[in-house]
Structure 1
Amino acid sequence: MAQQTYYAVQPFENAPRGRSKVLQPIVVSTSGEALRKAERLAQERGGAIAFSRSGDMEFGDFDEPVILGRFGDVPRDFE
């Protein structure tokens, strides 16, 4: 099994009545890029989480996500 790490951003969009809409995750190349993109998306949309996951891409067997940073309004389910 070849361990690989990928980095991603989970953006959220502010919605009426204090709810957040979960948007499509975005895969990026590095942890630094994930943090920068998450911070920018939080300013534009309302909130974002930068995270990484390690595992076997071929078989989809991954460890729990590692949160790199949280920005803006993030729903409780994602804290």
Structure 2
Amino acid sequence: MAASGHRMFVGQSLTLGISAIYDDGEPAADASVQVFLNGALYSQNQTDSTGFFRMALPGTGAGDWMFVISGDGHDEVIQFSIKES
């Protein structure tokens, strides 16, 4: 590998994708997605027509995350934590 006169910097970005389907296999299209960070409401969104939701987490993504997906009288919750390194 040849040396050069400049440096390289590498950043990170975390993107989360959630796929929501009902037990009959139908996508949970346009379902409500509430996003909580460290217990506080961070954002409110919707799944797309295929039941998919995607978002980029801010910064390093550190914190306690909770996603509440609601549609047609059903609620599902996903929780996880990302520790600051």
Say whether the fold is shared (TM-score over 0.5). Answer: no
Indicate the structure with greater helix content.
Answer: 1
TM-score (norm 2): 0.38
